Amino acid sequence: MLELLLCSLLTILPDYLYRRYAQGKRIGKEITLFSVWFELRWGIVACLMLTVGLITVIFYNHPATSNVTLLFRTVPIVPETNGRVAEIFVGLSDSIKEGDPIFRLDSSKQEAAVETARRKIAEVDAEFVVAKTDVVEAEGRIQEAKGAHQQAVDELAAKQELYRRNPGNVAFRDIEKLQVAVQGRQGAIDAANAAKEQAAARISTLLPAEKASAEASLAQAEVDLEKTVVRAGVTGRVEQFALRPGDIVNPLLRPAGILIPEGSWQQTLQAGFNQLEAQVLKPGMVAEVACVSKPWTIIPMVVTGVQNFIAAGQFRGGEQLIDPQQVTRTGTILVFLEPLYEGGLDGVTPGSSCIANAYTSNHDLLDSGNLGVMRRFALHAVDTVGLVHAMLLRIQALVMPIQSLVFSGH
């Protein structure tokens, strides 16, 4: 409407003044409601053409969008294991610090595993005591075997000496039996030494390994027990936390709730502009926004980034071919806007909807002095009509609360 009024001042109004004062025609006489088209046809046609051209120039070179949001990040509250909720530590909406508990799952199974691991460690410690007595017992058997061996050796030596002096006094068969007995006694010594080494190896190698394994099982069981208490990974707020004791949560199918990290929204607006304006939108462009949560305020912004991809065209590889006809919605160019001045977004609620204008500036190109007359005139006109778009934004910001509160019925 504003563009039509401006164009009519340059077309319809001069045409009417010419008809009225140059040709002497009067409203209600020669110029009536039925003769308006015929009398003012040149001005009306020129006004419509100029309006369409002006709107095209404005909206192409000074893009506008109502798809602007102050996005913020959320973190799902997900336990590392599934289970039934036993205790809740926060309310429906509550602030929380990093590491604070949020809720606890039923931990009877994990507590039993911890107790089993502790009993296993105690059992290994008891086996250490038994193994030490086995070493003492093996040492006694070694001494006993050595004594029996020495007795057999002495008896064999005596028999051999008697046999040497008088072969008839000792039967050769007795000497052979004593030789076999000496070998048997030596085998008993070797067996006792092996038993001692086995008991010592059990103390130095096997039992420490079993204890280390039991301690590792205890550590794992304690970790599993600790996982039953779900804690906040970051400082922030839990909102709409409706989880209650008795509910079942699953890390894959049913998260427990949402945690909003502190400062997750930062100072950046995300705006979606029409694809036609992809060649115009550049980092460094000056922009303005008006947000619903901060009415009657125009916030100066600057374009800090333009995404090189349109989200509507993305796909995930699978077993089926992609048909472009499946992309039913036309995507937008994602543009990142930051306040031109520090604290510009103070008072804007995260998640708020906004409207934005971005303005093309040809100031540097005009100052270069390398342009022709017609191009300089055209670029001056492009920069000038940005004022019309700025006026439109301010009118929208002015009527936004009235439109939202009165005409929407809310």
Model confidence over 222-277: pLDDT tens digits? 888 888 888 888 888 888 888 888 888 887 777 788 888 887 667 789 999 988 88
pLDDT level of residue 346 (50, 70, 90 thresholds)? confident
Q: Do domains 62-71+265-313+327-410 and 75-106+229-261 have the same CATH topology?
A: no
Question: Does residue 299 contact residue 344 with C-beta atoms inside 8 Å?
Answer: yes
**Residue range 98-127, pLDDT digits in tens:** 889 999 998 888 889 889 988 988 888 888
Q: Which residue has the higher pLDDT, 244 or 379?
A: 244
Q: How confident is the model at residue 363 (pLDDT cuts 50, 70, 90)?
A: confident
Of 25-29, 70-74, 175-179, the one with minimum mean pLDDT is: 175-179
Residue 342 has what pLDDT? 86
Model pTM score: 0.67
**Mean pLDDT, to the nearest integer, of 42-54?**
79
Who has greater pLDDT, 42 or 410? 42
Does residue 397 register a pLDDT over 80? yes
The mean pLDDT of the chain is: 81
193-217: per-residue pLDDT in tens? 777 777 777 777 877 888 888 888 8
pLDDT value at residue 247: 85
CA 357-361-362 angle, to 5 degrees, is 155
Indicate the CATH number for domain 75-106+229-261.
Answer: 2.40.50.100
Give residue 306's pLDDT. 92
Judge contact between 257 and 274, C-beta under 8 A.
no
Question: Coil, strand, or helix at residue 335?
Answer: strand
Domain boundaries, the chain: 1-57, 62-71+265-313+327-410, 75-106+229-261, 108-227
119: tokens are 């009993």
Return the pLDDT at 288.
Answer: 93
Supply the CATH classification number for the domain 62-71+265-313+327-410: 2.40.30.170
- The model's confidence at residue 356, banded by pLDDT at 50, 70 and 90, is very high
Q: Based on C-alpha coordinates, what's the Rg of the chain? A: 47
Give the contacts of 241 (CB within 8 A, at least 6 positions apart): 77, 90, 91, 92, 93, 94, 102, 256, 257, 258
